[in-house]
A and B are shown apart, each in its own frame.
Chain A
């Protein structure tokens, strides 16, 4: 079945780069997403990448997709304390625009001053 795996925890120092990794199993995924969740809040879409792309950059965020290995990563440059949150990787399992997503377990990013 569909599965999305992430490491559970990452700790970095303020100003360093953070790299959060994700693997997925469904090769029919057309979109892959990164969401951010702050404590007690809903999910905020950070960025997404279409499956025929290898890389997408948006300000401090860089998404890399290795479709062959089904590996997705999110790099946050110049990480700030405000970036501390849980980051979820998600894929749509080839469901197109229906929006039915499969989420990873979430990676807790801790940014130390």
Chain B
């Protein structure tokens, strides 16, 4: 089946630093990827829609300068948390939709847990 991989799975950083999380579709091309954030014991909140070759579309309340998204190729989207602060600590999950055909099924990555000290 389709596989989406995230890297790193866990990252701990100091406050004020920037962290990049990668999301790769391993065996299919994805024109669209999505970035979600999940707080402990809560549901997933869509942060932004990442479109290959164009600017990401951010959901209301998500700071685009804080969470930089780049979708440079059909198999890779990156989320960079800039100047991270402890309140940015969370579980970030990406998902991808096949470029062609499909049922609308999303394939999710394993998630990346960010801890900002």
* Interaction A to B: yes
Q: Mark A82-113, 1 if CB is under 8 A from B, else 0.
A: 00000010001001111111111110000000
CB neighbours of B111 from chain A (8 A): 40-42
Selected contact of A100 from candidates B43, B49, B96, CB within 8 Å: B49
From the candidates A41, A45, A88, A92, name the one contacting B43 in the complex (CB within 8 A).
Answer: A88
6 nearest A-B pairs in the assembled complex, by CB-CB distance: A99-B97, A43-B108, A42-B110, A42-B111, A97-B104, A99-B106
Q: Report which A residues bind B (CB closer than 8 A).
A: 30-31, 33, 35, 40-45, 48, 50, 88, 92, 95-106
Distance A64 CA – B114 CA, assembled complex (angstroms): 37
Q: A41-B111, A42-B6 are in contact. Are A103 and B43 (CB under 8 A)?
A: yes
Are A45 and B104 in contact (CB-based, < 8 A)? no
Residues on B with beta carbons closer than 8 Å to the beta carbon of A41: 110-111
Residues of B within 8 A of A (CB): 6, 32, 34, 42-44, 46, 49, 93, 95-97, 102-111, 113
- Chain A nearest Cβ from B36, distance in angstroms: 8
Q: How far is the CA of A73 from the CA of B78 in the complex (A)?
A: 35
Q: Would you give the shortest CB distance from B104 to chain A, in whole angstroms?
A: 4
C-alpha spacing A41/B4, complex, angstroms? 13
Q: How far is the CA of A44 from the CA of B106 in the complex (A)?
A: 10
How many angstroms between the C-alpha atoms of A48 and B104 in the bound complex?
Answer: 10
Contact (Cβ within 8 A) A31 B104: yes
Interchain CB contact under 8 A, A105 and B43: yes
Give every chain A residue within 8 A of B95 (Cβ-Cβ): 43, 99
